[in-house]
Amino acid sequence: MKKKVISLLLSLTMLTGIITGCGVNQSQSAADALDEQGVTEIPESASAASETEEAPVEAKELDLSNQVDLVFYVMGDAPQDEEEVEALLNEKLLEKCNATVDMQFSTWTDFQQKYANEITAQNADLIYIANWLNYGQLASSGAFEELDEMLKTVTPELTRAVGEAKLNMCRVDGKIYAVPNTWPEYVCNGVKYREDLRKKYDLPVPDSLENLEAYLLGIKEHEPDQGLLTVTTEESQAFKTGFDAAWALNFKYPWVSNNGLDYGLAANYDTPTEVYDYWYSDDFVDDMKLLKRWADEGFWSKSALSDTNNSDAYKNGLCVAEVAGQNPNKQVTAIADFETAGQGWESEYVAYGETNGVIYPGHATQNGTAIVRGCKDPERALLVLQTMLCDEEVNAIVQYGIEGKHYEVVDGVYKNLQEAAGETPTFPYEGFNTWNLRNGGTKLPQATDVKLQEMFDKYAELGLKTKFANVNIYDGFSENYDSYSAERSAVGNVMRQYLAPLQAGLVDDVDAAVEEFRNKMKEAGIDKVREEYTKQWIAYCEEYDYK
């Protein structure tokens, strides 16, 4: 089994580059909890478990006589006051679970390789999981402990708090391998743009392909030296390999670059089992000609395919819009950054779903926690997870640090004391990067969360109008490419070599470049890949009644 995991992780490392509450009343049904979040339709298979659920069971009594020291692996960089906060956290965990946690951090440098190493070496006991970290593939290959039985017998409180519907969304091959956080979050991709420049030159809101083009052309006309888009070749999610300016096409389709299917296949949200071909369609040719025109207009650098991603370009005024990898949280950060800069800049945001009509909250597997296979004590680890997520006192330490030193609560709102004093926070908000431990019932809002909640409320209202009301049908799908791994690798190479230049508009003849790309795809074995992938996708849709 370990050999299988290692093989999978090596493949993923080569092929990829890179949230509703424990505060819910425990007698409340999962359906009622989701209804509060605006989710009014639950797929039959997702709700089946709760419909047939037996009377709640009491947690079995664990033997806590021996102290267990666990490693909890999370993403990103460690806060300056990590050790001090961890000491207070462990003081509480020793009282409640006779256990400690050693928080270990990936840092953002080569984080995917480090994440893979943690799992293959089985150094961690608890680990952050996400669909963008290939949760499904890792779970199906034996990387994580099965949780079904333990959730019933060890932590029924956790099960009731999260809800059967959310837990069922974490199933892979019928088994639960992760526990999601309990805070509903909309992470709708879209365009973040300079509103001050739009108003200054009376330009249209960039809420469609046509208006985005007019917005950028208008700024180019009035400020020819101003950078417009900073874009690069992107390999962020599993096999989303191409040029990230193509994300703008999500104004036209909801699936081009961020959600939906891979390998140039498409399935509309309303008819997900009706899979069709995008790469070999006339739409694809037209879209590539649009991107060619944008490249010729100088919307991005001609060296974009080799440029290193500059994550601070927008913050520093080097570009006026970002079209890839954006979400409401990043918009709120941009607002704060611009206020700090004091340049009079304004940031606004438009989600692609506001135009294409498809919008939904993040999938349950967007931020969760798994127990690594080989964990020294899986039952204790799950008890610790329940405590860190559901115990209000412990959760506050994990998420905010030490009250009175790092933060205070003013009128129900979080306030960082060091930031308020003009100092750099030594433990900022969610300083442990434990987005997987967000508790929807007790989460302290920041001042900026007022704007964020306004965005969430708007998206939730739009999401209610879709066929699967506020349900993310895409991100729960987990591909198994064991039977076509060689062809998949070849297809990835073709995407890098031929698709990315097409999307970047760095070809002389679009029609000829499209024909060459298509021919190379056939040679790489795209037909076999698509046939097997489509079978899996349709089976997934049927399992969750996405029809």
Which tokens go with 392?
A: 């209000």
Rounded Cα–Cα distance for residues 165 and 34 (Å): 9
Q: Find out whether 172 and 8 touch, Cβ atoms under 8 Å.
A: no
Question: 10 Å Cβ neighbour count for 121?
Answer: 12
Q: Read out DSSP for 235-284? A: --STT--EEGGGGGGGGT-SSSSSSS-STTEE--TTSTT--EESTTSHHH
Angle, CA of 470, 476 and 480, to the nearest 5°: 160
Per-residue pLDDT of the chain (547 residues; tens, 9 = 90+): 544 444 444 333 333 333 333 433 322 333 333 343 333 333 333 333 333 344 556 778 899 999 999 999 999 999 999 999 999 999 999 999 999 999 999 999 889 899 999 999 989 999 999 988 989 889 999 999 999 999 999 999 999 989 988 898 899 888 999 999 998 889 899 999 999 999 999 999 999 999 999 999 999 999 999 999 988 765 544 455 678 889 999 999 988 765 567 899 999 999 999 999 999 999 999 999 999 999 999 999 998 888 766 778 999 999 999 998 899 999 999 998 999 899 999 999 999 999 999 999 989 999 999 999 999 999 999 999 999 999 999 999 999 999 999 999 999 999 999 999 999 999 999 999 999 999 989 999 988 888 898 999 999 999 999 999 988 888 888 888 999 999 999 999 999 899 999 999 999 999 999 999 999 999 999 999 999 999 999 999 998 889 8
Indicate the burial class of 489 (C-beta count within 10 angstroms; 0-12, 13-18, 19 or more). Answer: middle
What is the helix (H) or strand (E) element at residue 114, kind and residue range?
helix 111-121
Q: Give residue 50's pLDDT.
A: 36
Largest CA distance in the chain: 72
Helices (H) and strands (E) in the chain, counts: 22, 16
Answer yes or no: CATH 3.30.70.100 is held by domain 188-358+479-547: no
Q: Give residue 311's pLDDT.
A: 76
Which tokens go with 149?
A: 């039985």
Q: Give residue 536's pLDDT.
A: 95
Which DSSP letter does residue 229 get? B
CATH node for 2-185+362-455: 3.40.190.10
Q: Find out whether 510 and 290 touch, Cβ atoms under 8 Å.
A: no
Q: Which of 388, 447, 470 is nearest to 185 (CA)?
A: 470
3-state DSSP assignment of residue 401? coil
* Comma-separated ranges of CATH 3.40.190.10 domains in the chain: 2-185+362-455, 188-358+479-547
Q: Which of 364, 361, 369, 379 is nearest to 469 (CA)?
A: 361
pTM of the model: 0.75
Q: Find out whether 331 and 347 touch, Cβ atoms under 8 Å.
A: yes
Angle, CA of 82, 88 and 89, to the nearest 5°: 80
Which tokens go with 537?
A: 């996708």
Q: Give residue 17's pLDDT.
A: 33
Residue whose pair of structure tokens reads 């104004």 in the numeric block: 251
Indicate the burial class of 411 (C-beta count within 10 angstroms; 0-12, 13-18, 19 or more). Answer: exposed
Instruction: Please compute, for residue 364, the number of CA atoms within 13 A of its CA located in the half-sphere on the CB side.
Output: 28
Which tokens go with 254?
A: 């909801």
Q: Give residue 291's pLDDT.
A: 97
3-state DSSP assignment of residue 193? strand
Q: Give residue 96's pLDDT.
A: 97
